[in-house]
Amino acid sequence: MFSSLAGLSCVLSAALMTSSPLAPVDWSRDGRWIAYTLVDSPDAPALPPGWLLAPSGSEAGPTSSSVIAGSQKTFRVWATRVKGPDSVLIEESKQPLSSPTWGADGRTLVYGRFVSSQPDSPSSQRGRYEVVVQSGLDQKRVVVVQPDLELEAAARSSIPFLGPTLSADGRRLAVPRPGPDAGVWVVHLDEDRATRAIDEARMPAWSPDGHRLAYLKSKPGPDGEPVVSVHLLNPAGTADRVLSIEASLTASFLTWGLDGQSLLMIANPRRGPFRNTQVDLVRVGLDTGQTSPVSTLEAVAPTNAPRRFRGPTTLAGAEKSPAVRVGLALDGEQEQAVCLVDTEGQDQVVKWGNLHTQNTFKRFHPLDAGLQIGSPAVAPDGRSLVFRVEDGGAGLVALLDLNSEEVTLVAPDAGARIRWLDRLAACAVTLLQTWLPSPDADGAGVRATVLPLLAELGGVHPRQFRLKRLAKFASGLVHEPGDPVPASGTGRDGLAEFRLLFAYLNQDYTAAERHLGAIEATTTDPHARLRWLCLRAQILLSEGEVDRARGMIAYIDRETQPQALSIEDVPSGFQIESVANPQNAWAKHLAQKATQGALVRGRNGQVDPQAGLDGQTAEMGGWDVDRMPNLPFAPNPGVEQGLVPLQPDELGVPPQIRIPGLIEPPAPGLQPPARMPRFAPPPGGIEPGRLPPQPPAAGLRALQLEIEQ
């Protein structure tokens, strides 16, 4: 089985799901190298200018968007060593380059390129399509496949998603033809020319012996659904044999079986035995053209059916077939498979399992559910997976160890590095904005920046771990080996905002303050400087420098007081009112979070056992008996007094505060308040495994009186 065929991806749908295509990645035969194409595109950034400030921010400084948008679209073909940081630039061009394919020797790369004769034309361009056979950095052989070809802008943009398929003997190529009219060129490298063009052909696959070429054609059927036909071509002759014409097959995946006498394809989703939507891998025999099931790739239950047994008793009216999208990759032995499963209404997952035993080893997402991945390709040994992450272009490349789930983000140049950070930061910002809405009712412009307070990030929440995981992935990109550590006040290199975001999410506030200083030094907008000052106050609060933070907050509050007035015509005459300033709303919020009671509650539940709720030592007489009792469901005025809110299941005792005498003897110098009961263990203790003796009913009143005293 060729490694170039093992990494083919497929897209299928039960209810026609649409998704952005991603370019394929090819493994070398020895599994040491991967080859791929990257596209630097001005349409790639996911974050707008000034993304770190709140949506109402006025600064549009140089962020990831402006860094990439300043350059034209650039195409690069790379080869990267899997076990190490080595990457080799094969070719760079302003004209489209296709995805590369490794030769049988593992040292030759083959790819296509479009050479325009009118490069300044933005729409339709005429030029030639070439195939490059590169066996060294300075050893190239060019074969002109089509000397006169006219392509629209959309057709030129699709070239990176195409890649030639090389036969086992390395003498023949099947080159997908770009453009709206799909097709395949059959190229003989010995003759340096295209010997045949097959119209409407797609998904070409060479047989293991290299003498036969299989491909697919798709045409609309009577009911509008596509009908796929499987074709077989003998390059030595002119016969084009039709193996099968079935509406149950998809035109998205085709590869040869190891026996050389069958083809593997994916069938359309169908109803399974338990009313599931079932996606199967099938085998098409060359002799009969009949299909036979090989393995079930995915089985999705009806979305509206109960999660328990879904058998014949399930109501037909309560069922709904979910839309499914599956990307498939096989190892060299065609025994293990990795599926990228997209189900309507669910997060995308990676399913790794055995095709023969139907055993699923793992089911997980290698990065984050907010990142769309595709184009999986399994290494020949079945231990590693390479996949792409959608970035608005051909896709970013990442490596995954299937056993340890360790992910390596591949960034061979500065452009890929910035696009990785752009996608990770966009995912983190989306999590923050959906998880932590505006604290006030004034709309989305209340927050000074997208970064929350430490108290909002505390606690145990799944999204908290997702943010930490994204920051972990970004840590190797924001500080590459050999990069100088930026000092406060230095110029910005396009990464300062990313460094600030991920340092803050990692709760590395010393580094966050340093990166914030680098941003502030280049900010000239006074409104933006006030917003950055709000973030500095947040950092100081997180570091425990409360006095400095309170001084900054007071200054921000004074500077953001309402300065505009509105005149309204009311029945009693004209009425003048001040117009609220959204920045002042966040300053008020920071001032409330800087109070002593709020700081105590925001320290991840860490309260000094020697301190009371107001920060004073809890000595005898230090308790304010007139203070509102700290009860479950206490009204809001209790919060203003600095009380720790209680949960109903906490029996009226805050978990962070130990009441002396409740479990342990009181500490020296610390006495409980007069009204607080103290409970002593029963005399003689309790035997393990036995309940304490229950008091008689008549003695309950006496016990209650004793407690009240």
Task: Tell if the pTM clears 0.95, that is, is over it.
Answer: no
The whole-angstrom separation of Cα 193 and Cα 144 is 7
Rounded distance between C-alpha atoms, residue 573 and residue 534, angstroms = 39
Cβ neighbours of residue 188 closer than 8 Å, sequence gap 6 or more: 171, 172, 195
pLDDT tens for residues 471-497?
999 988 987 544 544 444 334 457 889
Encoding tokens for residue 189? 């490298």
pLDDT at 118 over 80: no
Instruction: Return the closest-CA partner of residue 265 out of 2, 12, 14.
Output: 12
Given CA atoms 624, 626, 632, 635 in this order, what sign does their dihedral have? negative
Cα 628 from Cα 638, distance rounded (Å): 6
Find all residues with CB under 8 Å of 515, minimum gap 6, and list them.
Answer: 486, 496, 499, 500, 503
Say what percent of the chain tops pLDDT 70. Answer: 69
- Give Cα separations from 189 to 36, 60, 143 (angstroms): 22, 52, 8
Minimum mean pLDDT range among 243-257, 347-361, 362-376: 243-257
CA dist 143 and 676 (Å) reads 91
pLDDT on residue 316:
41
Comparing 95-99, 121-125, 273-277, 454-458, the range with the smallest average pLDDT is: 454-458
pLDDT category at 303 given cuts 50, 70, 90 is low
Residue 66 pLDDT greater than 60, yes or no = no
Q: How far apart are CA 215 and CA 232, in angstroms?
A: 7
At 419 the three-state DSSP class reads helix
Give the chain's mean pLDDT.
76
3-state per-residue secondary structure call for 487-546: CCCCCCCCCHHHHHHHHHHCCCHHHHHHHHHHHHCCCCCHHHHHHHHHHHHHHHHHHCCH
Distance CA 115, CA 218 (A): 29
Asked whether 196 and 136 are in contact (CB, 8 A), the reply is no
Cβ-based neighbours of 164, under 8 Å, separated by 6 or more: 98, 101, 110, 111, 112, 131, 173, 174, 175, 176, 187
pLDDT 10s digits, 250-293: 888 899 999 889 999 998 888 877 778 888 999 999 888 888 99
State how far the Cα of 102 lies from the Cα of 667, in Å rounded to an integer.
Answer: 74
What is the three-state SS of 183-248?
A: EEEEEECCCCEEEEEEECCEEEEECCCCCCEEEEEEEECCCCCEEEEEEEECCCCCCEEEEEEECC
Q: Which fold has domain 3-59+72-333+351-389+401-412?
A: Methylamine Dehydrogenase; Chain H (2.130.10)
Mean pLDDT of 300-318: 49
Instruction: Fill in the amino acid letter for 209.
Output: D
Q: Residue 580 has what pLDDT?
A: 65
User: What is the rounded average pLDDT of the residues 109-126?
Assistant: 84
pLDDT reading at 101 higher than 50: yes
What would the pLDDT profile of 644-689 be if each residue is shown by its tens digit? 554 444 444 444 444 343 344 444 444 444 444 444 444 455 444 4
- Angle 615-620-626 (CA atoms, 0-180°, nearest 5)? 70
| Unique residue bearing structure tokens 């095709």 | 355
Cβ–Cβ < 8 Å for 131, 173: yes
Kindly state the average pLDDT of the residues 371-390.
Answer: 93
